Chains A and B, each alone.
Chain A
Amino acid sequence: MTPLEALQAALAGEHAAVYCYGVIGARTSASAHPDLYDAMLHGFQRHRRRRDQLTAMIVRRGAEPVAAEVSYEVPGPLRNVPELNNAALQLERRIARTFGQLVESTAGAERRWALVALDDAAVRQVEFRGTPEMFPGSSSSIISEDGP
């Protein structure tokens, strides 16, 4: 994958994350579950910021940033707190793998940016009750300390 292709893939992933966090956040009660609501809100804001940064990085390369789709499939049902947590966890796992690909395909400042983004996505997985993994963001990152 070329650096530009990896940047475009990461931007596409962020478009999806921003959309999905909007949907998941709208199903989260700010009064009943304020901590989870805050985590969703911060997730939405963080991914929106990353989307804008990736857009600028692609424009700097003289390319047209990939556009957002009309809608995206949200991972899993959203009927209760565990399902809301799980949906956000799946989102962060997906985007961590996208950032892992970005680390692999870039160098210098772009790789540095991808490393920070990968690290943050990995930490958010724990925030959404994910089990720590041995290699978060790798293509085989589903192997956790509790086994595959």
Chain B
Amino acid sequence: MLATGCAVNNPFSDEKTPAAEAVRELAPDVAVAVEAVTRIEVAAAAVAATTEAHPALATRLAGLTGLHDAHLTAVRDAVPDRVDVSPATPPAPVPPKPAVALARLVAAERTLHGQLTALALRAESGPFARLLGSMAAGVSQQLASPRLGVPA
């Protein structure tokens, strides 16, 4: 008989469970960590795709790349091995005009900021809420940074 279901709590399964399914079965703050990693992975993939399409933007986007890497390192350990946090869909095509591509990225980072803030509100652990809040504030700093060069 074939047993089906979520593999996230099954020690005998090597299957990875998509994050969207896994969060239903995880402890509340573990689910928050999974969602945070998923959101940051999406944003990081968008930055990587934009950098690849427009190498001239690489210097301006370096701060965002470093920020996402640092944030993923901080949160990834809280995600169970069997949860698949890779983006469910590939990044949207990068606009051919650099200015448009940058504007789209800024909008995506603003979305990420809102998601991290919402997750900080949901977190049950105080230190974890502080970490998520500081990650959201880090995104705001990048958006305000002259290096990125986004008008206020």
Do A122 and B70 touch across chains, with their CB atoms under 8 A apart? no
Which residues of chain B are within 8 angstroms of A108 by Cβ–Cβ distance? Answer: 121
Number of A-B contacts (CB under 8 A): 86
Interface presence of A134 (CB below 8 A): yes
Residue-by-residue, is A7-29 near B (CB-CB < 8 Å gives 1, otherwise 0)? 00000000000000000000000
Do A100 and B133 touch across chains, with their CB atoms under 8 A apart? yes
B93-143 interface (Cβ within 8 A of A): 113, 117, 120-121, 126-127, 129-131, 133-138, 140-142
Main secondary structure of the interface of B (DSSP, over half): helix
What band does the interface of chain A fall in when counting residues whose beta carbon is under 8 Å from B?
20 to 34
Interface presence of A59 (CB below 8 A): no
Interface presence of A127 (CB below 8 A): yes
Interface presence of A90 (CB below 8 A): no
The 6 closest A-B pairs by CB, nearest first: A122-B137, A104-B126, A132-B141, A104-B130, A134-B70, A135-B134
Pick 28 A–B contacts, CB within 8 A, sort by A: A100-B130, A103-B129, A104-B127, A104-B129, A104-B130, A108-B121, A118-B133, A119-B113, A119-B133, A122-B141, A123-B140, A126-B146, A127-B144, A132-B63, A132-B138, A132-B142, A134-B67, A135-B74, A135-B134, A135-B135, A136-B138, A136-B141, A137-B130, A137-B133, A138-B130, A141-B134, A145-B63, A145-B67
